[in-house]
Chain A
């Protein structure tokens, strides 16, 4: 392609100079390409403070989505955003903050990680991206730690009665975060201010 600017008369007022490259579905054939050894283990199981974050991805009829890919990106427990290489080749002790997990036959994903700390006084959350066959463009959401009495932030307040879809729930020491692509308990998915529609 040749780079084009968003100067079309009818174009929405994108404050960006260049038009975005459109997304496409991840398709059904990513399993031999995107997963890698240790992709879902941000820390080795058994590491002090290790936490299980897991959940199920479901479709509009409530059935498990068996060919989804979930990614998380998070701060470390002290609330620091880590900029450290090694997510693709885990060395067993460097926390990089990034993880990737395919869903299994039951639609379940599971990460072994650390509890994210609050960044800049915000509420602690995992940034989550979802890809799947049948999903034409990636979806973003947040998996907040249980509030435990903390005040909801602006996003949770604006989500109204759907805010609970953004909250992890305590699950016998683990955190559970289910993702509904469609339907009764459809997750609140996010769009960003500078994103082209």
Chain B
């Protein structure tokens, strides 16, 4: 911390970035000193102020998944229109911004594809504004962009969206706080225990070091797993840039055994397990 520097901004009353930076650095040093690898974000992460009263204070309780937990809800063609994966065609015209393709695979911890499963995304527009009544950022709404998409993975676990690169946006965690550009992802695996909501980021974002949500994943390699890779093979001639982002869902899944669970499945079941 800078000697004598003010903690709070006089007019907003919010703490300055340097206060958050110090807290992030302190946790990071303690993590490195401890030497054990953590793959997930800390639930108790004070630099993200909204987490203070919303994190469990007791250790998560060990449980062996059973019953429905060994299965995931089934989604498919009945749930999704194929056009929902293209976020650039939902309005009457073309949305403003950098058109891009985001694609990748959803895998389980053993590297098996998560087949025919639901992927949902939502994001800000190119100006960093959400179509949400609580978003007060004075950036323009785009009449041709809602920022919501859905798709079902294919038999190899691939998902694919066409969208617009989202802009960074301000928030009130602290004074002059800005989120790095990101796309929110919601994922289902082959077991309910693999359920995941996360955020995908873009390579080289200058806001990474300043953002307490990204930094709540205290392991640098784990953080990097949320960053997509620019991929020129996905980029399309005179049309869209391309990014690749693969997703691994672990949770409580186990290798299914023959006759493990005697559950009848309906005609439209998936036969992946």
Contacts and interface: CB of A to CB of B under 8 A. Distances in A.
A27 B54 CA distance: 13
Contact of B110 (A11, A16, A127): A16
Given A127-B68, A136-B51, A189-B56, A24 B213 contact: yes
Nearest to B54: A134
A66 to B, nearest CB: 10
B165 to A, nearest CB: 17
A194 B55 contact: no
A120 B66 contact: yes
B41 A23 contact: yes
Contact of B39 (A17, A22, A31, A63): A22
A96 B20 CA distance: 45
Given A75-B67, A192-B63, A18 B35 contact: no
Given A12-B37, A75-B68, A84-B268, A17 B252 contact: no
Contacts, number: 300
Interface string A51-73: 00000000111010100000101
A18 B122 contact: no
Nearest to B122: A33
Contact of B66 (A29, A86, A89, A119): A119
B82 to A, nearest CB: 14
Contact of B52 (A12, A31, A60): A60
B227 interface: yes
B186 interface: yes
Residue in A1, A63, A135 whose Cβ sees the most chain B Cβ within 10 Å: A1
B218 to A, nearest CB: 10
A182 B224 CA distance: 30
A196 B146 contact: no
A162 to B, nearest CB: 8
A6 B40 CA distance: 13
B148 interface: yes
B198 A22 contact: yes
Contacts of A133: 50, 54
A147 interface: no
Contact of A26 (B79, B124, B184, B245): B184
A98 B222 CA distance: 30
A11 B132 contact: no
Given A75-B68, A122-B66, A196-B250, A138 B197 contact: yes
Interface string B107-140: 1111100000010111010000011101100000
B266 A83 contact: yes
A53 to B, nearest CB: 14
A80 B247 contact: no
A78 to B, nearest CB: 10
Contacts of A119: 66-68, 263
A22 B120 contact: no
Contacts of B222: 19, 22
Contacts of A196: 39-40, 250
B22 interface: no
B79 A89 contact: yes
Interface of B: 35-43, 45, 48, 50-58, 60-69, 71-80, 107-111, 118, 120-122, 124, 130-132, 134-135, 146-148, 150, 184, 186, 192-193, 195-199, 213-214, 216-217, 221-229, 245-254, 261-266, 268-270
19 contacts: A1-B225, A1-B246, A4-B225, A10-B35, A18-B111, A20-B250, A22-B198, A22-B223, A25-B213, A60-B53, A63-B53, A73-B72, A83-B74, A84-B268, A97-B68, A134-B53, A138-B197, A190-B60, A190-B63
Interface of A: 1-4, 6, 8, 10-12, 14, 16-34, 59-61, 63, 65, 71, 73-75, 80-89, 96-98, 116, 118-120, 122, 125, 127, 129, 131-140, 142, 154-155, 158-159, 162, 181-183, 186-197
Please list the 10 inter-chain residue pairs (A to B) with the smallest Cβ-Cβ separation, ordered nearest first. Answer: A192-B252, A16-B109, A134-B50, A196-B39, A33-B122, A119-B67, A98-B73, A60-B53, A134-B54, A88-B79
Given A80-B264, A186-B57, A190-B62, 14 more contacts: A17-B111, A23-B197, A30-B184, A31-B132, A83-B270, A86-B79, A127-B68, A137-B43, A154-B64, A158-B61, A192-B65, A193-B252, A194-B251, A194-B254
